[in-house]
Chains A and B, each alone.
Chain A
Amino acid sequence: MSYVDVFVGNFIVIDFELYDLWLKGLSVDECAVALQNRGVLQSTGARFDELISDTKDSFRLYASLEQLLKWPTKFGEQLVYQIDPETQKILIDKYYQFDAHVIREILGKKLSTRLRNNLDEVSEKTKVHLRSCCRQFDNVKRVFRQVEERPGSLEKNIMSCFCLTSDTLAKKYAAIVFMANHRFETCKKRLGHLTFEDFLYCAEHMITNWSYSAAECDNHEDMDVDLDRAFLQDLRDLKILTEKQHVDEHKLFVLNILKTSLKKKRHESLEENYKTTSKAIISIAYGLNHSKEVRNFFSDVIEEVIEPFMLSHWTVEEMKTFLSVYKDSGHRLSVFRSAPNLSVVWDRYMNTFIKCCLKMYHM
């Protein structure tokens, strides 16, 4: 009804209650109703249409701030909005927050326009407003584009490019970018039970141990979005472990040690499955050299390593025992003694692999 109704201040003062609702993607009316239900009108005697107009006003402001929020470094070099650093920080941090279950849906996918156009499905599935889904998608895509080609630590790059003050948030984005970069397959049915946190955990470990920023890597100049190429090449050498003599030797070690710590039934089933399991673990390792195999890392782990154990109802503890023994006994193999480098690669691979595997091992 009112034709012009604006409120402008010298300082940008954000009503974060409203800002949160805006980020959630609520429309002006939904937002006003939500606020009214919280009783904001009681203290001042304002009426509903005034609440609506105030909400509209704030939404307009947020929409114009959004241009800056998309490239937060611009906050420092603009004069249009006078915002105190504290508010600025909260604004940005909140803007880059996301819903784990929304991100889960787009994790590892190609961040294409087609995917963006299909976000309404995500919205329907997650019950998150489409606008919010779009914002989260756009954030991920922008972060990805910005740091994709940038050398240095992924996490630090994200923090500085997007002025994020919380390193946990930056870490999450690093993981998402990492996943997106390698296009990890996350949508297969057998991966359906994995949550965003599971992937986050795995990705973080991959970044710290397998990428260029890993301690074992001596060439830190490249980006840690990518896996350490030298490491991947070294992984090829593990193929030797699939040779019969080594498999048998390894099996002997493992089963011997586990004889005491595992129940008999488990021990027997392991004896049966050992060969396929070991082969799977090692083939995943040297497969990482091919980007297509990298993509299927999670589904391969689930399908070839985890599922057989699940079927025979192994507990996480038992799984953990087996895997650590499997890793440790590897060092006793004769082949490792002849090639000392192999032992380093083995540890580097197995440590992270075990962590990922156990994380994904949902009962």
Chain B
Amino acid sequence: MPGTLKVKIVAARDLPVMDRSTDLTDAFVEIKMGTELQKTEVFKRSLYPQWNSDWFKFEVEDEVLQDEPLELRVLDHDTYSAHDAIGKVYIDLNPLLVKESPSVISGWFPVYDTMHGIRGDLNVIVKIDLFSDFNKFRQSSCGIQFFCTAEVPAGYRLQYVHGFVEELVVNDDPEYQWIDKIRTPRSSNEARQRLFSKMSGQLTRKIGLKVLEMGGGAVIGFKQCFDLEGESGIVIRGIGTAVTLAKARDPPVSPLGMSPLKDSQRPLLPALHISMPIVMSTNSNPLQARRSLNAPHLPITPPHHTSNLAFEHHHSFQLEHTHSACLPRQSSSGHTPPQTAPPHIGIGPPSSASHFAFDFAYSSPVPEESNAPSSPQSKNELSSTSPMKMNGTGTRHSSGSDASTPPKGNFLDCSSGSGSGKNFPKICSQQINIELMEFPLFTMTSFPPGFILHLGGVVAARSVKLLDKIHNPEEPETRDAWWNEIRTEIRSHTRAMGCHAVIGYSEETSICDDIILLSAMGTAAKVNLNLDQYQSTRLAPPQVVNTGDRSNMSAERDQSKKLYVDVNLANQVSHRLGLDESSPRYNCALCHIPYKPSSSPFPINLTQCACCRRRYVPDLLFTTINRPPEIHTVGHGAFIQARVCRPKGDGKTEVNAKEISDILPFMEYELHNQLVVKLKIRSMNCLFGLKMQFVVGESMLIGIATGTGVFLSPLPAPPVPRLVGQVTSEEENVELQELQLQIQEKLQRHKDLYNLNSVEISNQNLTSGVQTDDSDDDTSDLDLSAGNKDTFILEVDDTKDNSVKAMLSDVLQPPGMYVCNTDTYPGLTSQNLASNLQMFTQVFRRTVDNLQGLNKDFSEFFDSVFRRLFFKLRRMIPCCLCNVSFAVGAPEENQIEIVVTGICVRVDDSTSQNNSLTDNPMPMHGLETPMTGASSKSLLKPVSNVVGASGENVDEMMFPMEEVTEGSGASANKAARLKVVSNSRNTSQVFSRTFHGIEVTPLAYVPGARIERYIGSYNFFFIRETSSVKEVGGVCGFMQKFITEVLAIVRAHVSSLGGNALVAYNMTQCVLLSNEHKNQSQCLINVCGDAVFASREGEITAVVPDLIHSRKPSDSPSFAT
């Protein structure tokens, strides 16, 4: 099934002078696809050659099209000696292989040379004629769409989730081959770039094949990682979530007119109908295999150097260390918080952890569903499915204790709910059973409403391995086994939490010499995979259904079959069209614990949910996902970061590995402790977007954790931290009191800053309510009034100890600036986030002078990075720094590197008052319910009237939660609101920047714009080297130039595909090697993202040409032929 690739070389501009004598260049272009090479004619003596060539044609297998990029090499013709290379252009052809994406790539591409950077631009047109072979999607995996976006892409509807896909490709690193000694740095770099690109193509193709096998059509949350293992090779890993997406209708067009179309909306699935999770590992007993693998190398620490720690909602956590020798040290180390008394630590072989996983696995959905009799039909179903659920659980009981192989052949639907009557059989046949998945891991970080049922907490697993002990470095088996081990462990932790899925899952490595540290983390959760349009409405929170108003409405809509419309809307609209926050369909069930209170896996302070008062919630909730729109938050979010840096001995191999795996749990504990304290000092009770990174350096171990803290209204308000210390003298006592005062002050400051002043009052009321109001049946085995839940005790060993002080002294952002590491800022609506101002990358590297004050220095580095960031962006206030992500490294001995990326989004103050309004849905509800069916025009007025009053209403928002959710949902209402939203956005547009250019953003959306279509994902590895560092402005100048160039190339590719933005941008790798004595530097950068076309309302998409910045003809579609 070949395709014909057609390439036209139009022109080049601004080429470098290659011939000193004439100050000109005789340029020509080599076009290479696979092994075939063609050339243009030499265009003599010009820096602006115009070839305007004929079409160069290549007949290529689509496997090659997927694996290899089109390579264009610009050269200077030399009659006597070898032609001089000017630079190269690599064009990934994958976007052309997907239906519904552009059929042509056309535009100016920077000509890039690994030694000189960008040297002019090349204008190229590329087309592919794929032979329309009916079976073409069978062998290769063309047609599978890849999204780096870790959520359902805008404009699509999630139809099926097929599960986790992963692949791993290994190759030799050209840099370590013998030939590298004799070839030029340029050819070595180019060989490497080509290899990276080819491996990445292979990886995606292989993953695509797996997705096809599963019956999916796309991969979302796709992540690629490069492990530069050095001598043992290069590893590219890819993980993602296989899904089937259906095109969603344009919501603003006619939301109501869609109901008749519902049947045609079912997607045409590829031939495979029933999706079976594929089992990657044929090994029936991985645990056994693991032992045998590792035992020879590491006899001291059986069975693997894994220290895992699953910390959940609370500071109590479970250390699951298989090395029993470590345990005494843990309990005596004094690091444990008061709550974590030794008996609570989960001890024992791995299997013990999975024991309690089953007792409560699926208990809660059943009563909850029966609480929600939205229609008689569904009630019937439920009663019929629930016994089967029990059955399913039973199976797991018998087979699951090994936690290695999931039961197969169980076709029962264990996740709650299923389709409504009419469609039931159909859905059932296609339902994906999470119990059948080997690894129920989901790489997405945002989910459609109704997907998440309950959130458990963060689960993580880490493992230290030795690279030089890989038997077959060229083969992926060993690494596959390592990752399987880690994933299995994650799964068992998840089960221990009574959950069956891990969401917001990610994997990463850190390599130092021969040590590799593998880590994985995610959020344990209960999910509803069969998220069909009907179900998500049925999953409306019980309290919603209980209110008469709402149930009437839903019944009404059931009859008129408009239900579908509503969900469809919610589905699409949740993607930043500004409706997620404005539709107050809050669901506190997400925060409810997924296990029975009586059998919680670890000691936990449980309280009654402050919203429904029916179920239990933990007092703290940590998650790795973005804030689901269903969860109600109060106030603003806070960027929270914990950092630990510890010196490490210089042991070799096994000794080193042992030391590292011994230290890790303590570091992890310390990080966790810092996070908890920092949260409490901010009066918050939940972390979203938690990311942890552990780095192994030559002389130190680094761990950082970042997240966005918020106050969740269903969870109890955190108590004021109280200091407790061993006071021996009066002085110390005074100091201690001072410190306590400081904490108090800080707390108040934070409350002001994050708009949380209302929290405490309401909480006191709530707690008293819980204590007296003993209505629920489940409370029996939990004494809620006992314990220390009103206080949070900070232990201070020594008043000289700066650790507590350090936790208090975070750099605070200047007023008007908001910081978070999630996609959206809790407390600001998408209307507030008006437009992108600046995407930034900050690279910071310093040498640590002494290892004594390491931890303090380390924190100071971060503070400095923050201060610089705030200073740099001070002119953009009011703004919000979203998706601020940190990557640390320890590149050389005593060196610490911090790479910060993020985006600065303009905050529109004109709607910020509306924000508090949408944040507090009460007045909205009061106004809107009577308005149902009213014209959108009349709606506009009241909304703006509320603005003034909304401020005062914030204080009361905690109480009337039942009422709050009442008015949600009516589709007419929503359509009307949609108009309100679009209107308010129009007005805000007036103040926004007129120039948009090509946006590059780490977010999944473009603020102030709507993503019209996805054009293809971009992923490329750049290498840049120089042997004249001083001449380019030192290492700083070199780095600045290189990152600028990388962004320029990325933008050129986006624009050549007809896009105007790259979303979900991520700099996955940034490795800088520098030798200033030799005046040399080398840097490797890997970037990825999804090219999209986004349109702004009321804006003509074409950029108006002006005198200076005239648009190139190729940028306009008319040039296509």
A residues in contact with B875, CB < 8 Å:
13, 15
Answer yes or no: A50 CB below 8 A from chain B CBs: yes
A63 within 8 A of B: yes
Interface segment, one of A77-85, A137-145, A235-243, A309-317:
A77-85
Q: How many residues of A contact B (CB 8 A)?
A: 47
**Known interface pairs A3-B895, A57-B1036. Does A163 touch B1107 (Cβ–Cβ under 8 Å)?**
yes
- Please report the C-alpha to C-alpha distance between residue A1 and residue B842 in the assembled complex, in whole angstroms: 17
CB atoms of B846 and A3 under 8 A apart = yes
The one of A7, A47, A60, A79 in contact with B867, judged by C-beta atoms closer than 8 angstroms, is A47
Residues of chain A with a CB closer than 8 A to B1044's CB: 8, 64, 80-81
- The answer to the question of B1047 belonging to the interface, with a C-beta cut-off of 8 Å to chain A, is yes
- Determine the main DSSP class of B at the interface with A: mixed
Q: How far is the CB of B867 from chain A (nearest CB, A)?
A: 4
Find out whether the CB atom of B1108 lies under 8 angstroms from the CB atom of A85. Answer: yes
Please report the C-alpha to C-alpha distance between residue A89 and residue B897 in the assembled complex, in whole angstroms.
Answer: 37
A6 within 8 A of B: yes
Return A54 CB to nearest CB of chain B, in Å.
6
Per-position binary interface string of chain A over residues 37-80, scored 1 when its CB falls under 8 Å from any chain B CB and 0 otherwise: 00011011111001101101100110110000000111111111
Does B358 count as interface, using CB distance less than 8 angstroms?
A: no
- B1108 and A163: CB pair below 8 A? yes
C-alpha gap A207/B1000 in the complex (Å): 49
Tell me, in angstroms, the Cα distance from A63 to B1044 when the chains sit together: 14
Whether the pair B868, A79 counts as a contact (CB closer than 8 A) is no
Contact with A along B957-998 (1 / 0, CB 8 A): 000000000000000000000000000000000000111011
A86 / chain B contacts, CB cutoff of 8 Å: 994-995
| Segment among B211-219, B401-409, B650-658, B833-841 that sits at the interface with chain A | B833-841
Whether the Cβ atoms of B814 and A43 lie closer than 8 Å is yes
Partner among B845, B864, B1035, B1036 whose Cβ is within 8 Å of the Cβ of A56: B1036
Q: Shortest beta-carbon distance, A66 to chain B, in Å? A: 12
Q: Are A44 and B870 in contact (CB under 8 A)?
A: yes
> Are A8 and B1043 in contact, with the CB atoms below 8 A?
yes
Whether A10 pairs with B1047 at a CB distance below 8 angstroms is: yes
Contact residues in B for A15 (Cβ distance below 8 Å): 875
CB–CB B1040/A76 < 8 A: no
CB pair B844–A50 under 8 Å, yes or no, is no
Identify the closest chain A residue to B846 (Cβ).
A2
Flag if A76 contacts B1108 (CB, 8 Å): yes
Task: Please judge, given known A-B contacts A79-B110, A84-B995, whether A10 and B1033 are in contact too, CB under 8 Å.
Answer: no
Interface status of B285 (Cβ within 8 A of chain A):
no
Closest residue of B by beta carbon distance from A92: B1108
B811 touching A45 by the CB < 8 A rule? yes
List B contacts of A50 (CB < 8 A): 864, 867-868, 871
Nearest CB on A from B1115, distance (A):
11
CA distance A11 to B1000 in the complex (A): 9
Q: In the complex, what residues of A have CB within 8 A of residue B118's CB?
A: 79-80
Q: A74-B14, A86-B995 are in contact. Are A4 and B897 (CB under 8 A)?
A: yes
Whether the Cβ atoms of A7 and B874 lie closer than 8 Å is: no
- Docked pose: A87 CA to B789 CA in angstroms: 56
A47 to chain B, nearest CB (A): 6
In the complex, which residues of chain A have a beta carbon less than 8 angstroms from the beta carbon of B869? 7
Contact across chains for B1036 and A9 when beta carbons are under 8 A apart: no
Instruction: Report B388-404 CB contacts with A as 1/0, cut-off 8 Å.
Output: 00000000000000000
B1 contacts chain A at the CB level, 8 A cutoff: no
Is B263's CB within 8 Å of the partner chain A?
no
Give chain A nearest CB distance to B883 CB in angstroms.
13
User: A136 at interface (Cβ–Cβ under 8 A)?
Assistant: no
- Interchain CA distance A9-B1001 in the complex, whole Å: 11
Set of chain A residues within 8 Å of B837, measured between Cβ atoms: 11, 13
Task: Please indicate the chain A residues that have their CB under 8 angstroms from the CB of B1084 in the complex.
Answer: none
> Residue A5 at the B interface, CB < 8 A?
yes
Report the bound CA distance from A5 to B121 in whole Å. Answer: 29
Give the docked Cα–Cα distance between A284 and B1097 (Å). Answer: 67
> Considering the chains assembled together, what is the distance between the CA atoms of A43 and B817 in angstroms?
12
A6: contacting residue among B14, B843, B1000, B1051, CB under 8 A: B843
A selection of 13 A-B contacts at a CB cut-off of 8 Å is A2-B846, A7-B868, A8-B1043, A8-B1044, A10-B838, A10-B998, A11-B838, A44-B870, A54-B871, A64-B1033, A82-B997, A85-B995, A85-B1109
Residue numbers of B with Cβ under 8 A of A are: 13-14, 108, 110, 118, 121, 811-812, 814, 837-847, 864, 867-872, 874-876, 895, 897, 993-995, 997-1000, 1033, 1035-1037, 1039-1041, 1043-1045, 1047-1049, 1051-1052, 1072, 1106-1110, 1112
**Interface of A with B (CB < 8 Å)?**
1-11, 13, 15, 40-41, 43-47, 50-51, 53-54, 56-57, 60-61, 63-64, 72-82, 84-86, 88-89, 163
